[in-house]
Amino acid sequence: MKAGKTAGVMAVCGLIVLGGCSSAETRSCSYGNEDMTDTFEITASSDRVTHMNETITLDFAVMGATNEDMMEISDEDLETLFVSAMPQLAEEMEGVSVEYEISGTKAVVHVSIDFAKADPKVLYDLGIIDAMESNVSMEQSVNQLKEKGYECK
């Protein structure tokens, strides 16, 4: 797994601006290879991001893991796996939910941020956004993900 690609939450929220489009829209951006995929669904109104969902999937079949091997992984082990790569997932924050699951030979983490409920100062302190403002731009977020190799629709 490449560190630059898994710093997704920080990457999508990296640039903060005001203004933009006038209607609500959802965009999807994905990056992946044989052992990892990272997908964002970003929803915005007037270019201001209101919700962001990220799903990171690690496929252990590439390393020879079987479904039976994966069933032996505890919930705590699964959480530790993802928190070791993205320590900010360990913090409990209002407006942010994190869920972990095993699906066959894949370990999956779902991160959801509701920008209306999440405290921008807390997101900033954890390095998830680059400024203590809540006006995360959809256009700038998508452009930043594209620069990091994500394909966006």
Task: Convert the pLDDT of each residue in 82-108 to its tens digit.
Answer: 888 878 777 788 999 989 999 999 999
Ordered strands of the 48-59 beta sheet: 96-103, 106-114, 48-59, 36-45, 25-32, 151-152
Work out the percent of the chain whose per-residue pLDDT is above 90.
Answer: 54
pLDDT at 21: 40
Q: What is the mean pLDDT of the chain?
A: 83
* Stated pTM of the model: 0.79
Q: Pick the residue with more confidence: 49 or 11? A: 49
| pLDDT bucket at 10, cuts 50 / 70 / 90 | very low
CA distance 94 to 115: 10
Mean pLDDT to the nearest integer, 10-36? 68
Which residue do the tokens 């731009």 mark? 137
pLDDT at 134: 64
